[in-house]
A and B are shown apart, each in its own frame.
Chain A
Amino acid sequence: MNEQRPPRALRMSYLVASIAGVGFFAMSVLLLGVWPGQVLEEQTRVMSPEHPLGLSASERRGREIYSREGCAYCHTQQVRYLHSDMERFGAPTLAWETRFDYPHLWGTRRIGPDLARESGSHPADWHFVHFYAPRSVVADSVMPAYSAMFDGSPDRPKQDARDLVAYLETLGRDRELAGSEGEAHARANCNCDKDEMSQMAFHAPELNANPHKTRRTGSPPALVTGSESRGKDLYARNCASCHGPQGRADGPGAAGLHPPPTNLAEHYYRYDRLSIVLTNGIAGTAMPAWRDFSIADRSALATFVRTLYVPQPEPTLPQNLLDLGARVYKENCAQCHGSTGAGDGTAVSELRIAPSNFRTGRPTLGETLRVLRNGIDGTQMAPWGADTNGRLSEAELSAVAYYVRSLLVVQSSD
């Protein structure tokens, strides 16, 4: 069997080869693990803001839930240095942003969108409804429902759901908080002026480019009359789950939202108002922006939404009633809603959710009175009725309801 034993030198070569094998492996660990690790550690040291926020106990628990449910297997947490990623999600992920990630949750598959910049993209009530019944706020989503984290309805989240949402709010938070000084600090210490790719981290169009993230300002495009059938289709897919099939705010997603979705059958809106809402969302509410929809699609949606409004008879009012309404409005409403009803009163900057603009949209009389009597859950619009705190009499309520409805400025193009 062994009559042709190889010479001793050859036998030694196997020993050499075995050492080489271990060497290859050690080399891979050094070249692809240890050395990049040192570079990244140094980057973290010099580029991180001095006091990044760690995770609170609740946020840490949320992170564990995110881990155990395999969220990272559909949602990456890593914006790549690629324009396609940056336009969709925002600034590329820097090493220091991941300094508290034990273990990392970068992920290698995107079924849902990247979440590295999720912080500030959606309010908590939206998240709760989304976890409870994902398809009630995101049509055609394939995300599993996490209803076991709730006590039977989306507005009764258990601790798990609250922790998970708290964790999502931390994704990208440190970079947001670092602000422009933080960016300047990171950029100055990056020592990468000549490295085009590294520079991309500081040249993203936006830090958080989530097209659904709401914002208070931002110039909306002019919308025109669009295809009603296309609008109907888009509405059924994307809006009906909250606003209801007829716009009556009775969709399955409506139940857990605070404030509740607008009843579109009870509101007349100008095109420019709808453009602002569709382009910017309504900051502080679950109404997301739809900037990823083309202008033609937003026009189509606006056109369809306007057909949902059910006009009601408009009585002509005696002048003394309107005068009373104007006085009540000036005394009680103008601080927030503005003296002309444009939603630009002096107190606006203090409000989480912007007050209604009565010049670009008009609620029905019934809706106006309901809001005056009940307030709007989840906003600073308080109840004004006699049965709540007696601030306004029935006559004053009616008068001011008629008055605000007179503030609409009809545009010739509408």
Chain B
Amino acid sequence: MSSQSKSAGSSVNQQLVYAHGLAAVVMLFVSITFGIIASTELLWPDLGGGSPWLSWGRLRYDHTQGILFGWLGNAFLAFLYHAVPVLTGRSVTSARLGQWLFGLWNFVIVVPGWMLVLAGFSQPLEWAEFPLVIDAFVVLALLLMAVQFLPPFFARGIEDLYVSSWYIIGGLIFTLFAYPMGNFVPELVPGARGAAFSGLWIHDAVGLFVTPLALAIIYFVIPAASRRPIYSHFLSMLGFWLLFFLYPLNGTHHYVFSVIPMSAQIGAITASALLGVDVILVVANLLLSLRGSGWFPRDLPLRFVSTATVFYLLVSIQGSVQAQMSVNQAVHFSDWVIGHSHLAMLGFATFAAAGGIGHAWQRIPWARYNHRAMDWSYWLLFAGLAAMFINLTIAGVVEARLWQSNAPWLDSVRAVRPFWIGRTHSSLLIVAGFIAFFMGLTTGPKGAGLAAVEETVGLDAIDEISPRLSASHEVHGAAS
């Protein structure tokens, strides 16, 4: 066993982990800069001085596309380069392909996508704002990702897969299917009909790309960093299948009370409620696996992913509730939803991604690692997210109340200004948190990550990862 896991460790392409990890953080800074300028423009609308390149709409497009592709995409790639060899005992398909994919992802998709949007070439579709020409390269990149990461799983034998592997396979394949639904179909199918497809992708971008890969990280890091097997592999797999069954059926809940047939709306609302139940199941399994590690484990990647687990529960329950008609009719279209999406992307996904990068980083012997900076990063991000979420949620309730009254429209804009000020300020904490995260990865002594692992959980956590993750340890896992 240990000889196999040693070879698995050495087949990790650490250069690609490092490159994608750094690219993720750099792209993150650009993406949040777009977001911060956009949020400040809601306070001082003339900030951009009428320049088209700085107009709110274009910055808003670039903010979310940057977070999805630039930050989370790179972070997931960094994690995959670490996790796939560890999970399968085999190298990814090709290091050369990895270099091409790195270039494609960052310099053909994200950077040109941003520039094109700023120059006025885009699609007015949520989570699909990059123009069609970029979309074509995204599909190509998703195909190449499948080529790069999936063969090791199939070579290993599909009956022996750990749940993270399932999430990786599912995420990569279904994103490839779902992506055209939101990016191409609404260009070909008009109006309400196109919106029905748009709704599928709005939800699938989060449900079939972000969530599976974030859960793959969480399921990977928890046993690897805590040295305890997952509580129940049965629950893991049940959660996995329910997620892939229910998530795509949620789409239409973005258009409740629209002309889209009511039975489709009700189906989506029902699926949304059931999804909450599934998430309770998944999170219960994860939290039970974390018992003994405490709420705030000393190992920071583990702390990031365990908090991501809690955010996942909160944001999913919130999602189930706000999909219900009585809640939806009030809070839909309001800042409440913006708060929800930040809880999802900045809370759940970002904390998981940060944990995934950090975990892989610790295991690169020549990489620097700064435990104190990481600690600061965790608390600053936690505080910033909490402040942002609370401000936006209250703003949403205020808007909802005013919209249901007969107050002039502008009253709802005036009334939320204090909360928008709070939101913009909360982003300062978040920026500080990400600066600390960047310092955590680039300062401190080389190899300090390994030392930190040794200190917090013991050295055997480093090279005994693979067997702990194997599905064949189900019996031990459930028993322990």
Contacts and interface: CB of A to CB of B under 8 A. Distances in A.
A68 B187 CA distance: 14
A1 B1 contact: yes
Contact of A84 (B186, B198, B260, B404): B404
A45 to B, nearest CB: 12
Interface of B: 1, 4, 41-43, 45-46, 48, 50-52, 55-58, 60-61, 120-126, 157-160, 170, 174, 177-178, 181, 185-200, 202, 241, 244-245, 248-249, 251-252, 254-262, 264, 267-268, 329, 332-334, 337-338, 403-404, 406-410, 413-414, 467, 470, 472, 475
13 contacts: A32-B249, A32-B252, A41-B193, A69-B57, A80-B257, A80-B258, A82-B257, A99-B190, A103-B123, A104-B192, A105-B124, A108-B337, A145-B45
B181 to A, nearest CB: 7
A117 interface: no
Given A36-B196, A78-B195, 6 more contacts: A21-B244, A33-B197, A70-B60, A97-B191, A106-B192, A141-B410
Nearest to A134: B45
Contacts of A97: 191
B414 A78 contact: no
Contacts of A72: 124
Interface of A: 1-2, 4-6, 10-11, 14, 17-18, 20-22, 24-25, 27-29, 31-33, 35-37, 39-41, 43, 66-74, 76, 78, 80-82, 84-85, 87-88, 92-95, 97-106, 108-113, 134-135, 138-148, 195, 197, 201, 211, 292-293
Contacts of A43: 259
A69 B55 CA distance: 7
Contact of A98 (B42, B192, B254, B472): B192
A140 B414 contact: yes
A241 B144 CA distance: 57
Given A14-B158, A36-B264, A144-B57, A104 B198 contact: yes
B177 A68 contact: no
A382 B239 CA distance: 77
* Chain B binding surface SS class: helix
A330 B188 CA distance: 62
Contacts of B249: 27-28, 31-32
Contact of B4 (A1, A85, A143): A1
A8 to B, nearest CB: 9
A287 to B, nearest CB: 16
Contacts of B55: 69-70, 144, 146
B259 A92 contact: yes
Contacts of A108: 126, 202, 254, 332-333, 337
Ranked 6 nearest A-B pairs via Cβ: A70-B57, A98-B191, A28-B248, A147-B50, A103-B186, A80-B257
A28 B158 contact: no
B333 A40 contact: no
A191 to B, nearest CB: 13
A99 B409 contact: no
Contact of A31 (B122, B197, B267, B413): B267
Contacts of A10: 159
A21 B241 CA distance: 8
A104 B159 contact: no
Which of A36, A109, A211 lies at the interface centre, i.e. has the most chain B CB atoms within 10 A of its CB? A36
A78 B194 CA distance: 13
A39 B121 CA distance: 32
B337 A98 contact: no
Nearest to B255: A106
A66 B403 CA distance: 24
Contacts of B260: 36, 40
A195 B259 CA distance: 12
A37 B196 contact: yes
B271 to A, nearest CB: 9
Given A68-B121, A143-B45, A36 B337 contact: no
Given A31-B264, A110-B333, A142-B413, A2 B124 contact: no
Contacts of A293: 408
